[in-house]
Amino acid sequence: MATQKYNVAVVGATGVVGQEMLKVLEERNFPAAKILPLASARTAGSRVEFQGQEIVVQELKKNSFEGIQIALFSAGSAVSEKYALLAAAAGAVVIDNTAFFRMDPQVPLVVPEINAHTIQNRPKGIIANPNCSTAQLVVALKPIYDAAGIKRLVISTYQAVSGTGKEAIDELQQEVLDILQMKPVKPAVYPHQIAFNILPHIDEFLASGYSKEEMKMVNETKKIFGDDSIRITATTCRVPVFYCHSECVNIETKKKITADEARALLKQAKNVVVLDEPQKNIYPMPVAAAGKNETFVGRIREDISIDSGLEMFIVADNLRKGAAFNAVQIAEEVIKYL
């Protein structure tokens, strides 16, 4: 019996996440009968590669989704606000990588390793992909949450510039060149120089003093686990790394769990790789995680300041698990029910 195939649209196909989505669809041999790359008028007419063929990018319009079964959105919240419901009305299941629908109670927020079952209840026809820093966090937390419960999280992130987009990648590269050539640095994407620097600033600041990025981690983590009782605080920082987000996470569990027990659980977890032999200089790093779909966890140890606490270091490719890979995983779950 032939495998059913599906018409797939990729909105924002010329952006860094959209291009990664096309790569992951190809790598995963997703059963696509047709790939429709969509973008703004500015980049429509350019070409993208898929399975050895060049496909012309079409301009995104209101009627772009006729005959499309799955639509992957990665072009920004304003685009999703305008077009996602139109795509759903045309019959497509929308998988949205932007923040626009994430906290909508009628839209499931999905990391398949944790809550794939929620995709069946999608009254708006839309499924949200979480924030990149949240996605890798919850994958690593899941086995610990199941075994010991989680009372409180203290999170510090070290996020790559690719999370901001191609312009930020170009800016970091140019700043490095300018500094090494003793030229003045002229930041445009970020408010300050990012090369050889750290900015404790991702997204806008709120009246509380937290940034929107920090509150995304707080609210999305609770929604994905379906547990509002978890107490969470976060500080998110932009670092001069091109790809992969890193996170230092302090976990206060409801019942005591040892570092060895946590390590054993994580080794059994789907799409988690434990790199935890610090005496041999083995631990997660962005250079080792780039281009990979897994979430890497190490520096697992018991918190010496509280009775039931763990520390760990988490790294994942923000364009993969944080965006494209997670979206394609969701699509793979969706087609089980189409």
Q: Which of 117, 192, 244, 245 is catalytic?
A: 245
CA-closest candidate to residue 97, choices 36, 20, 41: 20
CA dihedral 53, 173, 295, 305 (to 10 degrees): -170
Contact (Cβ atoms closer than 8 angstroms) between residue 141 and residue 300: no
- CA 320 vs CA 3, 46, 61, 130, 163: distances in Å: 26, 23, 27, 12, 11
Give yes or no: 245 in active site. Answer: yes
Q: Report how far residue 326's alpha carbon sits from residue 95's, in angstroms, rounded to the nearest whole number.
A: 10
Give yes or no: 132 in active site. Answer: yes
Beta carbons within 10 angstroms of residue 246's beta carbon: 24
User: Crossing angle of helices 325-334/16-27, nearest 10°?
Assistant: 50
Return the amino acid letter for 242.
Answer: F
Residue by residue, DSSP assigns 102-166 as TT-TTS-B--HHHHGGGGG--TTSEEEPPPHHHHHHHHHHHHHHHHH-EEEEEEEEEE-GGGT-H
Q: Which of 132, 192, 201, 248 is catalytic?
A: 132
Return the amino acid letter for 191.
Answer: P
Q: Report how far residue 221's alpha carbon sits from residue 265's, in angstroms, rounded to the nearest whole number.
A: 20
Q: Indicate which residues carry an active-site annotation.
A: 132, 245
